[in-house]
Amino acid sequence: MKESNQGSSDGGKIGLDESQRRKKFGLAKKIVLLAVVAGLFAAAYSMFGENLSLQSLARKETGLRQYQQDHPVLVYGAAFAVYVTVTALSLPGAAAMTLIMGWFLGSWRGLFLVSFASTAGATLAFLFSRYLLRDTIQNRFGARLESFNEALRREGAFYLFTLRLIPVVPFFVINLVMGLTPMRAKTFWWISQVGMLPGTVVFVYAGSAVPSLQILADKGAGGILSPQLLAAFVILGIFPILIKKIMAGIRPAI
């Protein structure tokens, strides 16, 4: 009987040690991934930050147009990759990039690329947050978050859709916070795809109305304003208010 108890004790200790090793290994993997992400962030910012500035692009405008005509597939692939990287790593300047994509690619092609690239980048940021932070947050505040998680299981899609349509919370914050919730990645992707579309339409249209980056760099936004562009931004400003009133009539306002 004593030997049996001893064996049980040893087995429990071995199981506990194995659990601790797995936790340490999991933590090590997360630290490595975080270091990789931080390195990519620094590399992307150093590579793209200055090159994507308005002044830099204005100086290269003619060359960029010519390169687009000579290598359209490469240009679209590179533009998609750059936009996904910027949004996935939460680099500053996504709104400016949307305008630039509209200028460079035109309304419809720019809209198609930005819509899918922004959602892909947002989903990657969502998954980074989930993998790196979710377990730690849930283990530490699990009891306090139980009711919150249950509410998100019932209403999470509605809340995300509302936040995407009414941009009062920064883009990257929504991606990171939603990664801590029980929401499925597939649900996050398609709701973000639909919810961000109205704002994307207006910003890409605004970019496509830019006649020249040099004019924009020299004269600022006043150099490209037109009645149609002003109307688009007025609609973009009014749209969230209308959506909030409609949503309030359907569900309690958030």
Contacts with 192 (C-beta within 8 Å, 6 or more apart), sequence order: 119, 122, 123, 160, 164
Percent of the chain past pLDDT 90, that is, above it, reads 14
Is pLDDT above 70 for 138?
A: no
Domain assignment of residue 12, yes or no: no
Domain count, the chain: 1
Domain assignment of residue 229, yes or no: yes
Domain assignment of residue 2, yes or no: no
List phi, psi (to 5°) of 224: -120, 0
Domain assignment of residue 30, yes or no: no
CA distance 178 to 13: 37
Token pair 């149609």: residue: 228
CA distance 131 to 127: 6
Whole-model pTM above 0.75?
A: no
What confidence score (pLDDT) does residue 191 get? Answer: 92
Is pLDDT above 60 for 159?
A: yes
CB 173 within 8 A of CB 196: no
Name the nearest CA neighbour of 201 among 157, 233, 156: 233
Residue-number span of the structural domain to which 94 is assigned: 49-250
- State the Cα angle at 169 between 88 and 149, rounded to 5°: 85
Domain assignment of residue 159, yes or no: yes
CA distance 37 to 28: 14
CA distance 13 to 18: 9
Three-state DSSP class for residue 251: coil
Q: Please tell me which residue, 215 or 71, carries the higher pLDDT value.
A: 71
Domain assignment of residue 117, yes or no: yes
Residue range 49-94, pLDDT digits in tens = 555 556 666 677 777 788 888 888 998 998 999 899 888 887 777 8
The tokens for 38 are 């931080």
Domain assignment of residue 9, yes or no: no
Domain assignment of residue 41, yes or no: no
Mean pLDDT is lowest, of 27-36, 162-171, 194-203, 214-223, for: 214-223
